[in-house]
Amino acid sequence: MLFGAIVAHDAASIPLLVIGGFWLLGGVLSIWQGSQSAQEIILDGDSVEFRSPAKRLTIPATAIVEVSAPWWDTGHMGYLRFRTRTNGNIKAVPRLEGFFDFLVELRRLNPEMKVKTL
């Protein structure tokens, strides 16, 4: 769309440029958000390690207060949110291999943790 708007020199090129710009901005934001979300979660003893392409974060399992998904996400394609006492909210990709086994072990280590909308 952007290249078509640049090549065309008429009144139709302005809407194409605006729409293409929004699509480009959405794609760049999606790539950035994907690099910030945890791609892998590892439970090691009493600690949980969140791994993303940008960083690694290790917190105690008892610091996790709540695990939830967005209320609007019926198809489980949105992010998972881990609310913690010490690090705020940590976002993870929606479909993690072995996630429910991880939740069972995490609940064993932290019985006060809440699980919402999964």
Quote the tokens at residue 13. 């090129």
Kindly tell me if the per-residue pLDDT of 1 is higher than 60.
no
CA dihedral sign of residues 94, 95, 100, 104:
negative
Kindly tell me if the per-residue pLDDT of 77 is higher than 60.
yes
pLDDT at position 25, please? 92
The domain made up of 38-116 has a fold known as PH-domain like (2.30.29)
Any idea where the domains of the chain sit in the sequence?
2-33, 38-116
Q: Mean pLDDT, the chain, as a whole number?
A: 82
DSSP 59-112: EEGGGEEEEE--TT-TTS-S-EEEEESSS-EEEE-S--TTHHHHHHHHHHH-TT
What's the rounded Cα separation, in Å, for the pair 77 and 74?
8
Q: Write out pLDDT tens, residues 2-40.
A: 566 566 666 667 777 788 889 889 999 888 877 778 888
Kindly tell me if the per-residue pLDDT of 74 is higher than 70.
yes
What's the rounded Cα separation, in Å, for the pair 28 and 26?
6
Q: What is the value of pTM for the model shown?
A: 0.69
- pLDDT cut 90: percent of the chain above it: 9
**What does the pLDDT average to over 36-58?**
87
What's the rounded Cα separation, in Å, for the pair 85 and 113?
11
Amino acid at 20: G
Which residues, in sequence order, are CB contacts of 14 under 8 Å at separation 6+?
5
